[in-house]
Amino acid sequence: METTTNKTEVEAETQSILLPINDYLEGRPVKDIERLRRAFHPDAYIRMVMEGKLVQWTVPQYLDAVKTAALQECQSEVLSYSWDGDTASAHVQLTFPTFRFIDRFNLVKLDGKWLFMDKISYRQPL
């Protein structure tokens, strides 16, 4: 019985962690701002290196940048994720026709809900 309960708990936690990950992977390519907003904690930061310099955005700044991005065909993939207690990490990628974003997220569980606290992104030309 304990194994079933533990397995059920793990499955439930897995589904809970995948909610913001899927909101990002499904929302970013189509510029679904509300879905993206739902995935991020309001105090989260998004960071990447552009032209050799660290660039950092708040969630509102990031969402504004997404709004102006061109709509392109995109394939999304969860590369990995793991969690310990109320912290988690995820490694995902979004592949567009001419480049790919490889993203790493740190998540926290607050009030029973998993949210991105920060995103580090690498843009790889194809």
H helix or E strand, kind and range, residue 59:
helix 59-68
pLDDT band of 6, cuts 50, 70, 90: confident
Domain holding 61, by residue range, is: 2-125
- Please check the confidence at residue 3 and state whether its pLDDT lies above 50: no
The percent of residues in the chain predicted with pLDDT above 90, rounded, is 94
Give the tens place of pLDDT for each residue, 91-122. 999 999 999 999 999 999 999 999 999 999 99
Q: Alpha helix locations (H) across 32-104? A: 33-39, 59-68
Tally the domains of the chain.
Answer: 1
Residue 5 is predicted with a pLDDT of 59
Residue 2 is predicted with a pLDDT of 43
Alpha carbons 44 and 59: distance in angstroms, whole number = 6
Say which CATH number the domain at 27 has: 3.10.450.50
- Please check the confidence at residue 73 and state whether its pLDDT lies above 50: yes
